[in-house]
Chains A and B, each alone.
Chain A
Amino acid sequence: MERRIGSREAVLVARIAAGDDGALASLYDQFSSLVHGIAFRVTCDRGLAEEVVQDVFVRLWERPGSFDPDRGSVRTWLATLAHRRAVDRVRSSERARRRDQASAAESSDVAAVDVAAEGEAADRSARLWAAVDALPDDQRAAVRLAYAEGRTYREVARILAIPEGTAKSRLRLALRKLAGVLGEQEVAWS
């Protein structure tokens, strides 16, 4: 008969919607390292990173309906949510100001990563970071400032001393290239 209950990950999210905390525990076990890693990368602060982890999973528990399986995987959704929450924290915290001073010199030099991500995800990620290294310098610096430090494109423009319009288009161009590296079908960009 027709499969009504969906893929494994989508089922876990649907179980959360049905109030099953066991499903939340499963998704936590699977993705808390991912969420925590992003949060720590962006905030550089253990306390803030833990707050982000809690925020993300409590939101998943409270609003599982905001996950749309047609728009991507649970992994991407949680990663996106984690990044957004971490950026919010950084922007609203005093750290942002303190860090501004230390910023420009080291910011474009986010260390290559050596942490245990597993299986296919790790492989994709390794390929992607290699692709980041292969980006033209200006695009690489822009992506790293936005991704790893939670900078807005206006800040990226200021730090790199380029026009805001250029910062916008570099971010978009760089991500398009990286998405292409993930081996998904090419899309004819408008």
Chain B
Amino acid sequence: MELDRDSAAELLGAYALDALDAPEADAVERALAAFPDLRVEVARLGTAVGALAAADATPPPGTLRERVLDVARRAPRRPAPPDDVIPLYRRQVAELAAVLDTVPERAWSLDTAAGWTIHELVAHLVGVEAYVASRLDLGDFVPPPGTEHDHVGMTVPIIDAERLRHPSETRQAWERSAWSVVGLLEAAGPDLFTRRIDLYGIPTSARTAVVARMFELWTHADDVRRALGQPLVDPDAERLAAMSDVATRSLPTGMTLSGKARPGQSAKVVLLGGGGGTWTVPLALGDAGGPPAVTVVADVVDFCRVAATRLDPASLDHDVEGDPELAGDVLRAVAIFAA
């Protein structure tokens, strides 16, 4: 059945009280979708019904609580981030390339939050592409002696050389090497991800290395947008799922490297929004953890910006349950991920 606006309006009281049979209720819902003013009324009538209900409140038997929570615990719904992150990485490369397309000729010398001009930032990325390819046995870049573990230092000679070239050449050099790394990754396929590699002296999985790169390219795309006065762009939920997963799982390392390790304890991290999730992570490297000593709740994009050191933990809008000092340590440890 279909209802015109007035006939639907007549039924709103009965609708709010669930006093319609199913076909009529469906017809009212279709009318609500079509007429916003009816939605306003139904929300108001619903508030009255809800308030009537408050007087009836009686606690259910205590045993029901565990039963309900058990059902919930048995049905975790957060989809795991995809194993094959190469398509996500490809998307991230394309996004940065598109941002660089918008840089006007005179803007290459603008400063960025990365501490370089846009031109230098792209030159740095030329070096990073070469290094990462070599770590995956897909290239033959050798860092200058003494900079093997220094993400920035190893790219300094490349930045110096690129400064002498026109920015558009640097930009083309980055894009060429970035796409060639994407092509090599695609050719190697997800089998690559079973490998352990050494990245800046830290043993890690090849998959984590690709996600870390995605993090870096997203962050630098935003650095360029910020320098140009463009609005920042949130990654899609799939990329956020991969990035937030890697960032939270790096927490034990971060706590240990920052000297704040808490053996036997865990933190629960709840990240809100598409690509978020809930993690309970040990607070020391190689530790099994324990019951959460603190729960930190934040927006997933903000949290990733903290991990990328583009948002100060002190400015992060977040909720804490448990030890507030520990929450601060946790957020500062997350930022070690980028460093």
B37 within 8 A of A: yes
A187 touches B40 (CB 8 A): yes
B68 touches A21 (CB 8 A): no
B223 within 8 A of A: no
Report the nearest A residue to B63, measured CB to CB. Answer: A50
Chain B contacts for A165, CB-based, 8 A: 10
Report the nearest A residue to B301, measured CB to CB. Answer: A4
Chain B contacts for A146, CB-based, 8 A: 14, 17-19
Smallest CB separation, A32 vs chain B (Å): 5
Report the nearest B residue to A82, measured CB to CB. Answer: B53
Smallest CB separation, A110 vs chain B (Å): 10
Interface bin, chain A: 35 or more
B49 touches A80 (CB 8 A): yes
B47 touches A179 (CB 8 A): yes
B191 within 8 A of A: no
B297 touches A129 (CB 8 A): no
Q: Choose one: A14, A50, A129, A151; the contact of B52 (CB below 8 Å).
A: A129
A126-157 contacts to B (CB < 8 Å):
126, 128-129, 132, 143, 146-147, 150-154, 156
Q: A5-B272, A5-B319, A23-B270 are in contact. Are A147 and B297 (CB under 8 A)?
A: no
Bound-state CA distance A18–B46 (Å) is: 27
B315 touches A1 (CB 8 A): yes
Q: A76-B46, A124-B51 are in contact. Are A175 and B13 (CB under 8 A)?
A: yes
5 A-B pairs with the lowest CB-CB distances in the bound complex, closest first: A172-B13, A171-B13, A37-B56, A76-B50, A79-B50
Residue positions of A touching B, CB distance < 8 A: 1-5, 11, 14-15, 17-25, 28-29, 32-38, 40-41, 49-50, 53-54, 57-58, 61-62, 71-73, 75-77, 79-80, 82-84, 87, 113, 115-117, 121-122, 124-126, 128-129, 132, 143, 146-147, 150-154, 156, 165, 167-176, 178-179, 181-182, 184, 187, 189-190
Residue positions of B touching A, CB distance < 8 A: 9-14, 16-21, 37, 39-41, 43-61, 64-65, 67-69, 71-73, 75-78, 268, 270-273, 276-278, 295, 297-299, 301-302, 315, 317-319, 321
12 CB < 8 A contacts A-B? A5-B318, A15-B297, A19-B76, A20-B295, A24-B72, A29-B65, A40-B56, A54-B64, A80-B16, A128-B55, A153-B11, A175-B48
